[in-house]
Structure 1
Amino acid sequence: MDLSGPDLNAVSIKDIEQIEIIQSSAGVLYGDQAVGGVINVITRKPKEFTADIEARTGSYGRKQVLARITDKISNGVSYVLSGDVLEADNYRDNNELENVNLLGRIDYEFSSGNVYAEYQVITREQELPGALFSNEVEADRRQSTINFSDDYLDEDTKVSRVGTKTSVSDNWFVEAELISHEFEYESVQSSSFGKNTTPFFINSEQLEFTPRMIGIFSFNGGEAIITTGIDYLKADYESYLTDEQKALSYYMQAVVPLASKTSLTLGGRKARVENEMVSSFTNGELTERVSAYELGIQSALSDNLVLFARFDQNFRFAKVDELSFASPTAPLKTQTGDSNEVGIEWTVASYAVKAQVYRLELEDEIAYDPGAEGPFGPGTGANVNLDPTTHDGLIVEADYKVYSDLNVNAAFTYTDAIFDSGVFAGNKISGVPERKASMAADYRIRENLKTYVEVIYTDDHFVSGDNANSNPKLDGYTVVNANLRYQLKEWTFSARINNVFDKEYSASANESFGAVSFFPSPERNFWLSAAVRFE
């Protein structure tokens, strides 16, 4: 509900079963914020008894210990306990990190399904080095200037989940999850233009309920799948403003066979959000409503070749931070968009290729404009609705099993993101590289010895905030990473080198008040780990 970035340490790697990536709009099934794609992290369910312990160490004072134990007790009861403790000095000065992630889960399986309960606690303390101007990067890219010497963030997160997946008939089953999320945040963040000593804080409590029913029926030589559900969210937010937010949406999607190898997808979602805010900038009630629809078709022309086409609408309600820091003369509207894509999948025994082209058209895209009239007056900056934008793109992915011990995969994306009208008409949207590519190979040298090498390329692009395209582009970069893994009975040893060729680059930069500041990325660095499993 706020602009806090996703916490990459929220789920320990030991608890991840699978990561699903949806590369296009998914507004019907996933609702608010599912504009350019969705990352769905699926955690591991309890299994037969296993105990894993892993210790890691590496460059910049990094030390990490991960532990996980799981077991099935009896009568369908099973449990998981896991912990992840990480300490690091990190690449930049004034960037020490301490992160603790503890999780417990219990499952109960019965004849028609399962129920589970999960509790997670995450604490994070980190110093913040801030950004550097180009001359400061040239002098010492690892430094943190005096303005940022006291900057930090402290986070405490508690998450409770209960849920079920249960069959209610031969054709229907229910999935439901109730999530309670408590978040406390305190931070001091300065700028390159001056030091800040006033802490910023967030206290929030969020309750989310997401029941859905899924039906599977034999139809027209195939299976029809119908999904219908409700997403409900209630949140209380306190910072420099207070807000009580309620969001309710309901949706339905049907995947229906038209023939034995062709299916049609139809779906729709209606959503409503209510905010009751009190702040020095914004007061009162704000209610927004939006609808999104989906239409797609997929056809298998042969056992190896599949064609697909899809239209999906998406939306993004303004977050609390954005609403409270908007221009007093231009209240924020809900961002909406239309996504169109056409693609092909080709699969044979040794390789698979997927390619798709897409167009994403956004209306009232929400972004921060440092030159807009803000709560503190003209030119002080505010969150605004941008003029219409269009994102045209191509995505190609390939996987090739050269032979039994060698597998190669590659991906390429091309994005042409521009403003359609307004003061920036024809300009590139800042922060969006035109080209990104990656290639990776994993090779089994011996039965118990494997290696993995990846190459990642990112094209040059205008820095975030430079929608006028008036500053030099942020340089593109190519980074090579490598890993070696050795298995000895219940032990696993691995060594990883990131940025093998010691490339000096900045993965991100932004413009503010006409000046560009950079966040330098690490040079060559190492990870060593040893893990043992008991079964």
Structure 2
Amino acid sequence: MWVVRVSKKRKVPAPAVLSILWVFDMNPAHAVFFLFFSAFIVSLFPGFASGDSPVKLETIVVTAGREDKGAERLARPVRVLDRQDLSRIPGAGLVDVLAREAGLVPREGVGKSGGLDIRGMGDTSSSNVLVLLDDVPMNARDLSGVDFSTIAMEDIERIEIIRGSGAVHWGSGAVGGVIRIVTKKPAELSATLSSETGSFGHRKNRIQTSGSSKDFAFRLYGGHNQTSGYRENSAFEAKDAGLDLRLGRKGPFSFALSGHVHEDTYGLPGPVTAGRSRKSASTPHDGGETFEKRFTARAEGDFDSIGTLKLQRSLRYRDQKMDMTGRQSWEEMEILPVDIAVTEKILRADYHLPFAGNSLHLGLDHLESHYIRTDPDANLARRHNGRIIEYGAFAAADLGITESLRLALGGRYHHVDADYRYDRMDLQEWRQYALRSEAWEKQAWDAGLIYEVNSELHLYTSFASSFRSPNVDELAKASSDLRPQETRHMELGFRTFAPGRYRLEAGLFSMEAHDEIYYDSLLQENRNYEDTTLRRGLETSLSLYPSPSLSFRLDMTLMQARFEKKDTVIPLVPERHAGLQISWEPVEVVGLHLAGRWFDSRYDGNDYDNREKKLDAFHVWDIRARLHRAPLDIFMEINNMLDEEYALAAYSGAFYPMPGRQFKAGVALWF
């Protein structure tokens, strides 16, 4: 297992990165050739080799909306993970790493890449937790959820986790929280060639290289990832590649273009019932494949005293074919897969004006999503067509009332047009069978106060609203009166910190949701709860730094997610969970990182009356050892080192088991 990283003072010209084509069939011989080829090309282009001093990382800031704002100036809990943090946290994948934070619960085991629940959204977390990749929403306007397998950990610069409502700045779906992922940008010479190997046939290869001149920069990357899976029919294989270009890096105007292509194939082993092996598959032949491409163009102008203007246009296309018939043999029938094609176009405009220590933020956004699902059944072919058009306008202000008291205010107007059409095949032609059109107008508001008691203690409180409109999957099987849900939020908490010594954060939150959307399995349609749903809890995190080489982080969440009138617990939401991280770096080049998490029991996903047996509580421990000294970087990791048997989700007694103990390791070499 080997990894090669290039990251120093020189800049790589574009021709050097063409060897990325080898990433899909990587072996050590190709890696060595890539290194010598890159060095040779650099020597031919002295203009790229000369330049500024080594790149310095910018000060980490949090973008609650789309303007940069310090984390201490937000009236809600925030957690920022930079590249150094991500390199220290052990975990089997991106979802696993993020689930170590307070208030976040993993939703793995059901699909190919899992998901994340923030603040007890339960089974609808895929539509109530907004995930942004470079400010482009990754939540499709259906129930498929965010495909985290299309986001490589190696491409991430930092991750911002903002719990609570984000509706003013981001619109529909920012209910439980917002996860904002920022990828690496083109810079001076930075090339990485990496490979991993591990249990269950895990193998991962990635390559990345970038370079810059005075007014131009690029980053080219790609990768291959595969595993045979920890269960029958759980194999996964993916390839991806991308290119980022930036122009006008030194002037008041800058432009950026980026493109990304991803394809994968995967098995869907299905749930396991009691008495069956956890490694068995109830659906041994189900599976699918995905092809996705996305493109983004950005323009930014910095006009000094009159503010900055940002424009962004993105296009995302996904084609997904799935066989989910549950058949038990290849000979059982000839299966034609379900085909889902989704196209999304998003336009954003943001204007940010700072003045006298205050700021004003104005924004417009527009989304158009087209969805086509074709079921080529031998007896009755069907096609589902969905179109959702959203546009919104918002304004937000950050005002200094006194030197120690700040007020944040914001509001949004949002309009949604939704169409759903159902077609059937008749005489070799598609004919319209049903049509439904809806239009909704929604508003959201946000008000927060931050009081700086002193330089080491901040108090905050906020009140906000959020909303979520039905998506195309929900419109496909909807009650006649299905409508958007609305939620009201309250936050109250504090942050106290002493750099290099400790940081303590604690906050109370309350969420009251009206008309929450859910799927009624008895009536087989999507409806609004008649009962108000209440989510209230306490989130705490404590970081201690007893010495420069040793650090501790403890997270704990207490959650009450209930139906108001019934006083029953919302399924799949644990009432308590906690995490512990210990990092020991006795010398600068050596690190040992231990991370554990514990989750309380939770009710079955279909047990709304709380009458059935709960899923068992569990705890999982991971450990990572790392040696990093130029020109060498080595890591070894054990996930679920106690080989805990557990499940994160179950429906009607059938559960989705998680992996047992697994190993992986890697090495890095750069010049």
TM-score category (smaller protein): over 0.9
Alignment of 1:208 onto 2:346: yes
1:301 is paired with a residue whose SS is: strand
Q: Which residue of 1 aligns with 2:482?
A: 332
Letter in 1 for 2:542: A
Alignment of 1:406 onto 2:550: yes
Q: Which residue of 1 aligns with 2:563?
A: 419
Measure how far apart 1:520 and its partner are: 0.5
**2 CA distance for matches of 1:24 and 1:453?**
29
Q: Which residue of 2 aligns with 1:529?
A: 666
**2 CA distance for matches of 1:354 and 1:315?**
27
Alignment of 1:271 onto 2:417: no
Alignment counterpart, residue 439 of structure 2, candidates 271, 287, 292: 287
Letter in 2 for 1:189: M
Residues 234-287 of structure 1: CA deviation (Å, up to 9, x unaligned): 122111311222110111110100001110011001111112221168513211
5+ residue gaps, structure 2: 1-140, 374-382, 424-432
Alignment counterpart, residue 391 of structure 2, candidates 248, 252, 271: 248
**1 CA distance for matches of 2:516 and 2:275?**
34
Measure how far apart 1:191 and its partner are: 5.4
Alignment counterpart, residue 476 of structure 1, candidates 593, 617, 635: 617
The answer to whether the 8 Å contact 1:132/1:517 transfers is yes
Q: Which residue of 2 aligns with 1:141?
A: 278
Deviates more, 1:77-86 or 1:270-279: 270-279
Measure how far apart 1:192 and its partner are: 10
Alignment counterpart, residue 231 of structure 1, candidates 357, 365, 383: 365
Measure how far apart 1:47 and its partner are: 1.1
The answer to whether the 8 Å contact 2:259/2:295 transfers is yes
Residues 29-56 of structure 1: CA deviation (Å, up to 9, x unaligned): 1211000000000111111112111110
Residues 445-474 of structure 1: CA deviation (Å, up to 9, x unaligned): 333211100010111010212111121011
**2 CA distance for matches of 1:476 and 1:493?**
34
Measure how far apart 1:500 and its partner are: 1.0
Alignment of 1:318 onto 2:491: no
Counterparts of 1:118-129 in structure 2, within 5 Å, are: 118-129=258-269
Measure how far apart 1:24 and its partner are: 1.1
1:469 is paired with a residue whose SS is: coil
Q: Which residue of 2 aligns with 1:26?
A: 166
The answer to whether the 8 Å contact 2:582/2:593 transfers is yes
Alignment of 1:519 onto 2:656: yes
Q: Which residue of 2 aligns with 1:378?
A: none
Alignment counterpart, residue 225 of structure 2, candidates 81, 86, 100: 86
Alignment of 1:157 onto 2:300: no
**1 CA distance for matches of 2:312 and 2:279?**
44
The answer to whether the 8 Å contact 1:56/1:63 transfers is yes
The answer to whether the 8 Å contact 2:285/2:326 transfers is no
Letter in 1 for 2:507: Q
Q: Which residue of 2 aligns with 1:376?
A: none
Alignment of 1:390 onto 2:531: no
2:614 is paired with a residue whose SS is: coil
5+ residue gaps, structure 1: 374-380
- The 1:408/1:76 distance shift into structure 2, 3 A limit, reads same
Measure how far apart 1:12 and its partner are: 1.7
Measure how far apart 1:325 and its partner are: 1.2
**2 CA distance for matches of 1:91 and 1:176?**
44
Greater share of residues in strand: 1
The answer to whether the 8 Å contact 1:282/1:324 transfers is no
Alignment of 1:167 onto 2:167: no
Deviates more, 1:99-108 or 1:272-281: 272-281
The number of equivalent residue pairs is 507
The answer to whether the 8 Å contact 2:232/2:284 transfers is no
**2 CA distance for matches of 1:99 and 1:247?**
32
Deviates more, 1:304-313 or 1:486-495: 486-495
Residues 123-147 of structure 1: CA deviation (Å, up to 9, x unaligned): 01001111011121xxx110113xx
Q: Which residue of 1 aligns with 2:400?
A: 257
Measure how far apart 1:215 and its partner are: 0.8
- The 1:282/1:405 distance shift into structure 2, 3 A limit, reads farther
Alignment of 1:448 onto 2:593: no
Q: Which residue of 2 aligns with 1:439?
A: 580
**2 CA distance for matches of 1:253 and 1:465?**
40
Alignment of 1:297 onto 2:449: yes
**1 CA distance for matches of 2:661 and 2:600?**
20
- The 1:192/1:385 distance shift into structure 2, 3 A limit, reads farther
**1 CA distance for matches of 2:637 and 2:481?**
49
Alignment of 1:16 onto 2:191: no
Measure how far apart 1:64 and its partner are: 0.4
Provide the TM-score with structure 2 as the length reference.
Answer: 0.74
**1 CA distance for matches of 2:644 and 2:303?**
57
- The 1:343/1:282 distance shift into structure 2, 3 A limit, reads farther
- The 1:192/1:290 distance shift into structure 2, 3 A limit, reads farther
The answer to whether the 8 Å contact 2:340/2:371 transfers is yes
The answer to whether the 8 Å contact 1:132/1:192 transfers is no
Letter in 1 for 2:290: E
Q: Which residue of 1 aligns with 2:216?
A: 77
Identity %: 24
Alignment of 1:181 onto 2:316: yes
1:29 is paired with a residue whose SS is: helix
The answer to whether the 8 Å contact 1:368/1:465 transfers is no
Deviates more, 1:412-421 or 1:487-496: 487-496
Q: Which residue of 2 aligns with 1:38?
A: 178
**2 CA distance for matches of 1:334 and 1:174?**
32
**2 CA distance for matches of 1:21 and 1:132?**
33
The answer to whether the 8 Å contact 1:397/1:411 transfers is yes
Letter in 1 for 2:540: V
**2 CA distance for matches of 1:264 and 1:113?**
31
- Aligned CA RMSD, in angstroms, stands at 1.7
**2 CA distance for matches of 1:257 and 1:192?**
63
Q: Which residue of 1 aligns with 2:54?
A: none
Provide the TM-score with structure 1 as the length reference.
Answer: 0.92
Alignment counterpart, residue 364 of structure 1, candidates 481, 506, 515: 515
**2 CA distance for matches of 1:306 and 1:384?**
42
Q: Which residue of 2 aligns with 1:95?
A: 234
The answer to whether the 8 Å contact 1:130/1:144 transfers is yes
Q: Which residue of 1 aligns with 2:257?
A: 117
Deviates more, 1:24-33 or 1:114-123: 24-33
Q: Which residue of 2 aligns with 1:54?
A: 194
**2 CA distance for matches of 1:186 and 1:17?**
32
Measure how far apart 1:509 and its partner are: 1.4
Letter in 1 for 2:219: V
**2 CA distance for matches of 1:307 and 1:59?**
46
Alignment counterpart, residue 204 of structure 2, candidates 60, 64, 67: 64
**2 CA distance for matches of 1:356 and 1:266?**
20
**1 CA distance for matches of 2:507 and 2:370?**
41
Greater share of residues in helix: 2
The higher-RCO structure (CA 8 Å, 6+ apart) is: 2
Alignment of 1:352 onto 2:503: yes
Q: Which residue of 2 aligns with 1:106?
A: 245
The answer to whether the 8 Å contact 1:54/1:532 transfers is no
Measure how far apart 1:59 and its partner are: 0.4
The answer to whether the 8 Å contact 2:286/2:327 transfers is no
The answer to whether the 8 Å contact 1:153/1:186 transfers is yes
